[in-house]
């Protein structure tokens, strides 16, 4: 049953993440991001890291996605023509896709070759915040950092979408 739940939530998260990229409507993309974060929180619960799942839902899903939705609704970008993307903006997703596929191939190639730690060396899971901090900065550092990086990319995307044609950045006018 545990393996089925992991596969279900992993596929759910991947499909919702693809929905963020594919949806042309920004409100629908933000809702897909919300569902993607819920899927990641479910994976954290599956790993018995309830504090991380709770913090992910409260901070990212509750505050950041709501902020993105408010920004998108305030900008009202429905009637605008999309500006032509530069060569670097069209090259960046391709480079990222190749890097992601390469990382997937490497992870499948290394599957089973990395030794698991002994059960006696792993500290018991409890209510200690020190233990959660230890696990956050050792075992679960990569997923948390990847999520933060994805949110940074989404925030930069909102900034790029918010710029109107001919609008200059700066305060002096």
pLDDT digits (tens, 9 = 90+) for 118-169: 766 666 655 567 777 787 788 888 888 888 888 888 778 777 777 765 555 5
Q: Is pLDDT of 77 > 80? A: no
Residue 55 within a domain = yes
Quote the tokens at residue 30: 């933000």
Give start and end residues of each alpha helix (H) in 120-171. 129-137, 141-162
Band (41; pLDDT cuts 50, 70, 90): very high
**Which residues lie closer than 8 Å to 64 by C-beta, 6 or more apart?**
151
Full residue range of the structural domain in which residue 148 is found: 1-77+126-162
Per-residue confidence (pLDDT) for residue 42, from 0 to 100 = 93
Q: Long-range contacts made by residues 37-41, C-beta under 8 angstroms, separation at least 24? A: 37/61, 37/65, 37/147, 39/9, 39/10, 39/12, 39/13, 40/13, 40/143, 40/147
Per-residue confidence (pLDDT) for residue 173, from 0 to 100 = 44
Residue 118 within a domain = no
Per-residue confidence (pLDDT) for residue 43, from 0 to 100 = 92
Q: How many domains does the chain have?
A: 1
Higher pLDDT, 66 or 15: 15
Residue 99 within a domain = no
Mean pLDDT taken over the chain: 78
Residue 30 within a domain = yes
Higher pLDDT, 107 or 55: 55
Residue 86 within a domain = no
CATH of the domain at 46: 1.20.120.1200
Higher pLDDT, 58 or 80: 58
Residue 169 within a domain = no
Higher pLDDT, 35 or 85: 35
Q: How far apart are CA 134 and CA 123, in angstroms?
A: 10
Q: How far apart are CA 105 and CA 99, in angstroms?
A: 10
Higher pLDDT, 103 or 38: 38
Per-residue confidence (pLDDT) for residue 81, from 0 to 100 = 56
Kindly report, residue by residue over 79-108, the tens digit of the pLDDT: 455 566 666 667 777 888 888 888 888 877
Which residue, chain included where needed, has tokens 């900008």? 75
Residue 15 within a domain = yes
Residue 105 within a domain = no
């Amino acid at each position: 049953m545990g393996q089925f739940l992991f596969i279900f939530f992993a596929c759910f998260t991947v499909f919702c993440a693809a929905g963020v990229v594919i949806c042309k409507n920004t409100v629908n993309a933000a809702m897909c991001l919300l569902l993607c974060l819920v899927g990641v929180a479910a994976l954290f619960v599956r790993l018995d890291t309830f504090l991380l799942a709770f913090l992910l839902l409260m901070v990212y899903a509750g505050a950041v996605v709501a902020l993105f939705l408010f920004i998108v609704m305030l900008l009202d970008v429905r009637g605008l023509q999309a500006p032509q993307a530069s060569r670097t903006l069209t090259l960046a997703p391709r480079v990222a896709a190749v890097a992601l596929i390469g990382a997937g191939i490497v992870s499948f190639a290394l599957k089973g070759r990395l030794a698991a730690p002994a059960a006696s060396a792993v500290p018991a899971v409890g209510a200690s915040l020190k233990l959660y901090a230890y696990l956050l900065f050792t075992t679960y550092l990569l997923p948390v950092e990847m999520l933060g990086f994805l949110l940074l990319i989404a925030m930069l995307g909102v900034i790029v979408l918010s710029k109107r044609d001919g609008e200059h950045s700066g305060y002096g006018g």
